[in-house]
Structure 1
Amino acid sequence: MHCELIVDARNATGESPVWHPTENALYWVDIPAGQLHRWRASDGAHQHWQANEMLACIARCASPDRGWIAGMQSGVFQLTVNAQGTLDSRLLSPVEHAREGMRFNDGRCDRQGRFWAGSMLMDMQQGARVGALYRQGGEGQALRLQLDDLIVPNGLAFSPDGTRMYLSDSHPDVQAIWAFDYDIDSGTPHNRRLFVDMREYPGRPDGAAVDAEGGYWICGNDAGLVHRFTPDGRLDRSLSVPVKKPAMCAFGGAGLDTLFVTSIRPAGDLADQPLAGGVFALNPGVKGLEEPAYRG
């Protein structure tokens, strides 16, 4: 298995990688830095743009001129790069967090183009169950609370046909991945059940992706691994990266047969993982699916 460093980004928390097929480029964010990053496959060029608050998760908008939809600190925003090369942001929906010190975390669109994002208390050590999962519909519509009683919602993903939703909680006290039946007409999950107990495997469950065969790929944070589980919850394979904290993965490349992995660069001695915070490319042995665009 070949693992290639594509950007020595040194992100504090590299998250939400999204492949942009028309640009042949990978986008992702550095959450605490509030930055949107892009790497072009054609020439390896890497650049980033600054948002005005923490930037947690992104999805392309269906209309190219609309840029990105993003879960940030205070709500869901539309982000566009302007002619001056800076990032404009427009608030679509504010969020009423359960308490101070919260932000959005993991998020993406379902197969129908609805944007989903989970919130968390930034001080994870408190283990406070104040996190929640929201759905953003069309423009002008309020955020809709869908699930609560979460600590660190993560691992959000949808099956190829869109009828199953996955969600994890990566807090050390939980470390569970759940599956839900998903109503594609109303955009609501139900019949929640345990899919994988990650306490039985290396690493806490972090960001995820689903391949064209329905395999669920989840980053094993703290273990330097990316696991693939079959739709029936069986561990199929584990790929390693040269850092301890892979954060989220996404399929991309011309054939959607590359798995890109962002990572976290923790404070302290990094002698044993100097590439922490980098972005990596793996050969997963399966093809992925194009990430749905926001159709609000």
Structure 2
Amino acid sequence: MNGAVHVERLDAAGRAAVGECPVWHEEQQALYWVDIPARRIVSLHVASARRSEWALPEQVACIAFDRAGTVLAGLESGLFAVTLDEAAQHRDGGPHDNASASGGALARRLAAPAFTAGGMRFNDGRCDRQGRFWAGTMVQDMSLASPAGALYRFDEKGVLSAPVVEGLITQNGLAWSPDGRTMYLSDSHPQRRLIWAFDFDTGTGTPHGRRVFADLHHYTGRPDGAAVDADGCYWTCANDAGRLLRFTPQGRLDREVSVPASKPSMCAFGGDGLDTLFVTSIRPSANAGDDDGYVFALRPGVKGLAEPRYAGVLPVA
């Protein structure tokens, strides 16, 4: 069950405070991710070790690309279309029409939920197999254990749904099975530590039949960001435990892989042939280890699935 896998620290990626939402960009052969409190989107061209970063006007927690290369991002106040200017990535910009610019990134707000509590933001998000963007909200002060968070769907027409799943404390772990007919969602708060599976109507984008897929009270760590491999197995980052846990589609734990960081946050498949698993991590504010906050890469012996693009057309920010 324990995976004897070599894990490489990608020093060229730099060190984040809260690294999250790795996304592999196949055409660029580059990994993108975010540093939430730093308000940064970061990329690393793996072969050349060339790193780029872009500043945003708010904390950014999740990203996806549309087919034109524009970024759909979940920030504090809503969902934004973000244009990344490679030539201006280190230049502070000014206002542009209804958009705001900062460090080469132009961000235009598209939609916002009705936040039900103060101090909320978007958290984990990604596209389903049909290209709808899903993202959840949370109260940033986790000590409050507020169940004000909810999961939303942003469809290809640019319409933000009403809450699809409510009562979440720290929404996380979004992923879909290879055929798209099972949706996974977790709550990583210490009081929850649950991963759920839903039957998923691919035509309407509606999850139903919610059930507990894995209860991490029986294992180690808290379920953070996740990815599904080509075999349909669900990989979750076990935050606070320095591990990746792989569950079969039947919910059976069949692999554990140790990583150097104590708080792995999210994983994504990428690289040539989608055979590399990239893992972001969090650097705790106190007692951080030397590896906390870095991005890691490992080859687990199984391939992943290409990350779906957002199916709609985002406006140029």
Alignment of 1:106-117 (within 5 A): 106-117=124-135
1:269 is displaced (CA, Å) by 2.6
Note the C-alpha offset of 1:92.
1.1
Q: CA-to-partner distance for each residue in 1:20-79, whole Å, 9 max, x for gaps?
A: 000000000011111000000121111211010000000111223xx1101110000111
Q: What secondary structure is seen at the aligned counterpart in 2 of 1:180?
A: strand
Q: What are the residue-to-residue correspondences of 1:23-102 with 2, within 5 Å? A: 23-64=28-69, 67-82=70-85, 83-85=87-89, 86-102=104-120
| Cα pair 2:187 2:223 within 8 Å, conserved | yes
2:311 pairs with 1:295: yes
Once residues 225 and 286 of structure 2 are traced to their aligned partners in structure 1, the CA distance between those partners, rounded to angstroms, is 23
Q: Any idea what the Cα deviations from partners look like across 1:174-208, whole Å, max 9, x if unmatched?
A: 10000000000000100000100111111100000
Q: Kindly provide the amino acid, as one letter, of the partner of residue 4 in structure 1.
A: E
Query: What whole-Å deviation, never above 9, does each CA across 1:121-178 have from its counterpart, x for those lacking one?
Result: 0000111110100000134423432010110110010000000000000011110000
Map 1:124-135 → 2, pairs under 5 A: 124-135=142-153
Query: Quick check: 1:92–1:139 contact (8 Å CA) kept in 2?
Result: no
What displacement does 1:12 show?
1.1
Whole-angstrom CA distance in 2 between matches of 1:285 and 1:11: 27
Equivalent residue of 1:255, what SS?
Answer: helix
The TM-score normalised by the length of structure 1 is 0.96
Q: How does 1:256-271 map to 2 (within 5 A)?
A: 256-270=274-288
Could you tell which deviates more after superposition, 41-50 or 156-165?
A: 41-50
Which consecutive residues of structure 1, in runs of 5 or more, have no partner in the other structure? Answer: none
Using the TM superposition, give the Cα deviation of residue 210 of structure 1 relative to its aligned residue in structure 2, in angstroms: 0.2
Q: Which residue of 2 aligns with 1:254?
A: 272
Contact preservation (8 Å) 1:3, 1:241:
yes
Question: Identical aligned pairs, as a percentage?
Answer: 54
- 2:172, 2:185 within 8 Å by CA — same for their partners in 1? yes
- Counterparts of 2:60 and 2:297 in 1: how far apart (Å)? 23
Cα contact 1:219–1:247 (8 A) shared by 2: yes
Q: Secondary structure at the match of 2:143?
A: helix
Distance 1:84 1:171 in 2: 38
Distance 1:255 1:141, change over 3 A: same
For residues 292 and 142 of structure 2, the distance between their equivalents in structure 1, rounded to whole angstroms, comes to 20
Alignment partner, residue 95 of structure 2: none
Kindly indicate whether the alpha-carbon contact (under 8 Å) linking 1:245 and 1:276 is maintained by their aligned counterparts in 2: yes
TM-score (norm 2): 0.90
Q: CA–CA distance in 2 between the matches of 1:41 and 1:225?
A: 23
* DSSP-derived class of the 2:163 partner: strand
| CA RMSD, Structure 1 to Structure 2 (Å) | 1.0
Structure number with higher strand proportion = 1
Q: How big is the shift at 1:292?
A: 0.2
Instruction: Quote the Cα distance in structure 1 between the aligned partners of 2:226 and 2:306.
Output: 14
Structure 1 runs of 4+ off > 6 angstroms? none
The equivalent residue for 1:6 is 10
- Give the whole-Å Cα distance in 2 for the aligned partners of 1:237 and 1:46: 32
Matches of 2:197 and 2:157, distance apart in 1: 28
> How many pairs were matched up?
292
What corresponds to 1:104 in structure 2? 122
User: What is the CA deviation profile of residues 99-121 of structure 1, one whole-angstrom value per residue up to 9, with x for unaligned ones?
Assistant: 11000000000000000001000
> Mind listing any 5+ residue stretches in structure 2 that lack a counterpart?
90-103, 313-317
- The answer to whether structure 1 residue 165 and structure 2 residue 183 are counterparts is yes
SS where residue 239 of structure 1 aligns? strand
